[in-house]
Chain A
Amino acid sequence: MQRVGVFICWCGTNISSTVNIEQVVAALENIPGVVYIKDYQYMCSEIGQNLVKDAIKEQNINRVVVASCSPRMHEATFRKAAAAAGLNPYLVEIANIREHCSWVHKDKEAATQKAISLTRAAVAKAILNEQLIPGEVGVEKRALVIGGGIAGIQTALDIAEAGYQVDLVEKTPSIGGKMAQLDKTFPTLDCSACILTPKMVDLALNSKINLYSYSEVTEVNGFVGNFEVTINQKARSIEMEKCTGCGICLAKCPAKKALSEFEEGLAKRAAIYTPFPQAVPNVPVIDRETCIKFVTGKCGLCAKLCPTGAIDYEQKDQIVNQKYGVIIVATGYDLINLDRFGEYQYLDHPDIITGLEFERLVNAAGPTGGKLVRPSDQKQPKKVVFIQCVGSRDKSERGKAYCSKICCMYTAKHAMLLRDKYPDCEAYVFYIDVRTAGKGFEEFQRRAVENYGVNYIKGMVGKIFPGDNQLQVNGVDALSGELLQLEADLVVLAAATQAKPEADEVARMLSISIDRDRFFTEAHPKLRPVETHCAGIYLAGACQGPKDIPETVAQASAAATKAIGVLSKNKLVNNPCVAKVEQAVCSGCLACIKICPYEAITEQVIEEKTRGKVRLRRVAEVNETLCQGCGGCTVACRPGAIDLKGFSNQQILAEVDAICR
Chain B
Amino acid sequence: MNYSYYPGCTLKTKAQGLEACAFKSAQVLGVNLVEQEEWQCCGAVYPLAADEIGTKLASVRSLVAARTKGEKLVTLCAACHQVIKRVNHDMKTKEDMREKVNNYLQLKEDYQGESEVIHYLELLRDEVGFESLAKKVKVSLAGRKVAAYYGCLLLRPREIMDFDDPERPTILEKFLESLGASPVNYPYRTECCGGYLSIEREEVVEKMVNKIIDSALQQGAEEIVTACPLCKYNLENSSLCQKGEIVVSYFTELLAESLQVKEG
Within the complex, the shortest CB–CB distance from A399 to chain B, in Å, comes to 12
Report A-chain residues with C-beta under 8 Å of the C-beta of B188: 465
Smallest Cβ-Cβ distance to A340: which chain B residue: B165
Within the complex, the shortest CB–CB distance from B158 to chain A, in Å, comes to 9
Q: Is A468 an interface residue (CB 8 A)?
A: yes
Known: A340-B167, A342-B167. A464 touches B218 (CB 8 A): no
Other A-B contacts than A341-B167, A465-B187, 19 sampled, CB-CB below 8 A, are A339-B168, A340-B167, A340-B168, A342-B165, A342-B166, A342-B167, A342-B168, A342-B190, A347-B168, A348-B168, A348-B185, A463-B187, A463-B191, A464-B187, A465-B188, A465-B215, A466-B187, A467-B218, A468-B218
Smallest Cβ-Cβ distance to B218: which chain A residue: A468
Smallest Cβ-Cβ distance to A464: which chain B residue: B187
A-B contact pairs, 6 of them (CB 8 A): A340-B168, A345-B187, A348-B187, A463-B191, A465-B188, A468-B218
- Residues of A participating in the B interface, judged by any CB pair closer than 8 Å: 339-343, 345, 347-348, 463-468
Among B168, B188, B190, B215, the most chain A Cβ lie within 10 Å of the Cβ of: B168
Within the complex, the shortest CB–CB distance from B171 to chain A, in Å, comes to 13
Within the complex, the shortest CB–CB distance from A494 to chain B, in Å, comes to 18
Report A-chain residues with C-beta under 8 Å of the C-beta of B185: 348
A464 to B187, CA, bound (A): 8
Within the complex, the shortest CB–CB distance from A330 to chain B, in Å, comes to 35
Report B-chain residues with C-beta under 8 Å of the C-beta of A468: 218
Report B-chain residues with C-beta under 8 Å of the C-beta of A339: 168
Report A-chain residues with C-beta under 8 Å of the C-beta of B215: 465
Closest 7 CB pairs of A and B: A342-B168, A342-B167, A465-B187, A343-B167, A466-B187, A342-B165, A468-B218
Chain B 68-105 interface residues, beta-carbon cutoff 8 Å to A:
none
A467 to B167, CA, bound (A): 17
A340 to B165, CA, bound (A): 7
A347 to B187, CA, bound (A): 12
Chain B 176-198 interface residues, beta-carbon cutoff 8 Å to A:
185, 187-188, 190-191
Report B-chain residues with C-beta under 8 Å of the C-beta of A347: 168
Within the complex, the shortest CB–CB distance from B189 to chain A, in Å, comes to 10
Smallest Cβ-Cβ distance to B188: which chain A residue: A465
A347 to B215, CA, bound (A): 18
Contact bitstring B130-168, A, C-beta under 8 A = 1, else 0: 000000000000000000000000000000000001111
Within the complex, the shortest CB–CB distance from A284 to chain B, in Å, comes to 38
Report B-chain residues with C-beta under 8 Å of the C-beta of A465: 187-188, 215
Report A-chain residues with C-beta under 8 Å of the C-beta of B167: 340-343
A160 to B81, CA, bound (A): 67
Report B-chain residues with C-beta under 8 Å of the C-beta of A345: 187
Contact bitstring B192-228, A, C-beta under 8 A = 1, else 0: 0000000000000000000000010010000000000
Report B-chain residues with C-beta under 8 Å of the C-beta of A467: 218
Chain B 208-260 interface residues, beta-carbon cutoff 8 Å to A:
215, 218
A341 to B165, CA, bound (A): 9
Within the complex, the shortest CB–CB distance from B169 to chain A, in Å, comes to 8
Report A-chain residues with C-beta under 8 Å of the C-beta of B168: 339-340, 342, 347-348
Smallest Cβ-Cβ distance to A339: which chain B residue: B168
Within the complex, the shortest CB–CB distance from A475 to chain B, in Å, comes to 15
Within the complex, the shortest CB–CB distance from A463 to chain B, in Å, comes to 7
A466 to B184, CA, bound (A): 14
Report A-chain residues with C-beta under 8 Å of the C-beta of B190: 342
Report B-chain residues with C-beta under 8 Å of the C-beta of A463: 187, 191
Smallest Cβ-Cβ distance to A346: which chain B residue: B168
Within the complex, the shortest CB–CB distance from B210 to chain A, in Å, comes to 14
Contact bitstring B18-47, A, C-beta under 8 A = 1, else 0: 000000000000000000000000000000
Within the complex, the shortest CB–CB distance from B98 to chain A, in Å, comes to 25
Report B-chain residues with C-beta under 8 Å of the C-beta of A466: 187
Smallest Cβ-Cβ distance to B215: which chain A residue: A465
Smallest Cβ-Cβ distance to A341: which chain B residue: B167
A467 to B218, CA, bound (A): 8
A161 to B168, CA, bound (A): 52
A343 to B218, CA, bound (A): 19
Within the complex, the shortest CB–CB distance from A266 to chain B, in Å, comes to 22
Report B-chain residues with C-beta under 8 Å of the C-beta of A340: 165, 167-168
Within the complex, the shortest CB–CB distance from A346 to chain B, in Å, comes to 10
A347 to B168, CA, bound (A): 10
Report A-chain residues with C-beta under 8 Å of the C-beta of B165: 340, 342
A340 to B158, CA, bound (A): 12
Smallest Cβ-Cβ distance to B166: which chain A residue: A342
A10 to B191, CA, bound (A): 59
Within the complex, the shortest CB–CB distance from A131 to chain B, in Å, comes to 59
A464 to B215, CA, bound (A): 13
A463 to B186, CA, bound (A): 13
Report A-chain residues with C-beta under 8 Å of the C-beta of B218: 467-468
Within the complex, the shortest CB–CB distance from A73 to chain B, in Å, comes to 40
A341 to B218, CA, bound (A): 23
Within the complex, the shortest CB–CB distance from A474 to chain B, in Å, comes to 10
A557 to B185, CA, bound (A): 50
Smallest Cβ-Cβ distance to A349: which chain B residue: B187
A340 to B169, CA, bound (A): 10
A463 to B168, CA, bound (A): 11
Report A-chain residues with C-beta under 8 Å of the C-beta of B166: 342
A468 to B217, CA, bound (A): 11
Within the complex, the shortest CB–CB distance from B126 to chain A, in Å, comes to 21
